[in-house]
Amino acid sequence: MNEMIEGLFGDKSLALLGFGREGRSSYTLLRRVFPQKTLAILDENDNIRQDACLQNDYNLVFITGKDCMQAIDNYDVAIKSPGIPSNTLPDKFKRVRLTSQTDIYMQCYGHQSIGVTGTKGKSTTSSIIFHILKNAGRKTLLVGNIGVPPFDCIDEITPETTIVMELSSHQLEYVAHSPHIALLLNIFQEHLDHYHTYGDYQKAKLNISMYQSANDYFIYNHDNEILRNQMEISPHPKSELISFSLDTGPDTLLNLKDAWVELQLKSGKIRLYDTSQGQPLMGHHNLYNIMAAAAACSLAGVSPEHISAGIRSFNGLEHRIEPVGTYEDIMWYNDSIATIPEAAIEAVKTLHCVDTLILGGFDRGIEYAILYPFLFHSGISNLIFLGKAGTRMMNELKVYGESNIKFFTATDYQEVVDIALRVTKKGKICLLSPAAASYDMFSNFEERGNTFKKNVRKLLSSHN
């Protein structure tokens, strides 16, 4: 890796766009390869100059402030962090100058990587794959959007390592290389505040397989309308296509049949679990995650027995339809990961007896039309709204039609829990599944979920 970076950038001027977690990771590796090279860091936040890891480095140029990205064309190569929205870049910058940690990493290790993307489910699916591989005795790493910058793990990679990469649209937007096995779980409206158009977002997701060869595999969800239409209009020209679906059909290699999830690939059918014996993960949506993970692991050479065992022993991730506890005969669930209406709908369907639903947060301008008829027929009694997204949902629901659902507003999660405790029926569920981003009040969905759980657990501790 070090030799490749030296060859790519040794004679070029370099700029880092953004100095968050991944930007810091890129800086660390570049400084290891180029101890004396002048590096530029472009970031709106002028406080990055005080970062501990940059002290005593006299070969740095800082360009900060609102218009800092206008300086991109002053450098031969700009390495973009995923947190920098594409709509903040200059309109006519020279695209050839832009790369990313993800692209550099896949240029070196793409042949031994499984890449996972999708609007929803990518963390769970990546984690299932990693869990199966690890339990099967394979040397494996889990990197990317899951929270571990790829460059942080290069010293652990051997030729036998299978690298599982969770990839966001931001990480895929500026790539020219693809993983050996690429998974695209779904595409829904998301991150519209970061892109000029919804089409730009879709294109970024589809980049995961754009640079594959005939020896590679592209696994996609045939039930997702956008993906199905994309494959019908413009089938992938190079890699082998494998689709999965909950409907049996001649065009899908992976499907749900009777009470079994079956994998129909070169290794034969794999029975993952019997739904009559209980599911390892709750929810219709997790069947898709399981099928995608099983397909990827089978193509990576994992035996049917190890795939089945891995599925059975996987326990799920935090903030994803996560039970928090029961207080006053009310069951409290945290699904803070649900930042789009489709995810909130799936959570309500999965839990069946939701009486109070908590909605809202940062408003990114996504459409909520799919949510309103569902709520009116869901049996939910109470909706608690927060933030500008919550205000918009509430106002649009009032216009949509009359219902018996009671509306409440709150300014923080202590107030949310107080209202929910007062109005939720005994024996029913209070669910946080906001259908909106968290950035108005929190730094991420994890902080939002933890705040909700903290306030609920105050109730639990007072009861004990």
Q: Would you call 206 helix, strand, or coil by DSSP?
A: helix
Beta carbons of 230 and 206 less than 8 angstroms apart: yes
What DSSP state is assigned to residue 315?
-
Q: Which residue has the tokens 């599982």?
A: 164
- What residues contact 28, with CB distance under 8 A and at least 6 apart? 53, 151
Distance CA 420, CA 384 (A): 8
Q: Which residue has the tokens 């129909």?
A: 264
- Cα separation values, 396 from 91, 153, 410, Å: 34, 47, 17
Q: Which residue has the tokens 């891995």?
A: 310
Q: Can you give the pLDDT of all 464 residues of the chain as single tens digits?
A: 888 999 999 999 999 999 999 999 999 999 999 999 999 999 999 999 999 999 999 999 999 999 999 999 899 999 999 988 877 888 777 776 889 999 999 999 999 999 999 998 899 999 999 999 999 999 999 999 988 999 999 999 999 999 999 999 999 988 999 999 999 999 987 666 666 788 888 888 999 999 999 999 999 988 898 898 888 877 666 898 888 877 654 444 444 333 334 444 443 344 444 333 444 566 667 888 988 998 899 889 998 888 888 888 888 889 989 999 999 999 999 999 999 999 999 999 988 899 999 999 999 999 999 999 999 999 999 999 999 999 999 999 999 988 899 999 999 999 999 999 999 999 999 999 999 999 999 999 999 999 999 999 998 887 65
Please give the model's pTM, rounded to 2 decimal places: 0.78
What sections of 300-340 are H helices per DSSP?
Answer: 304-313
For 278, the enclosing helix (H) or strand (E) is none
Q: What are phi and psi of 374, to 5 degrees?
A: -65, -45
Q: Would you call 158 helix, strand, or coil by DSSP?
A: coil
- What residues contact 250, with CB distance under 8 A and at least 6 apart? none
Q: What are phi and psi of 8, to 5 degrees?
A: -75, -40
Q: Which residue has the tokens 């040397």?
A: 139
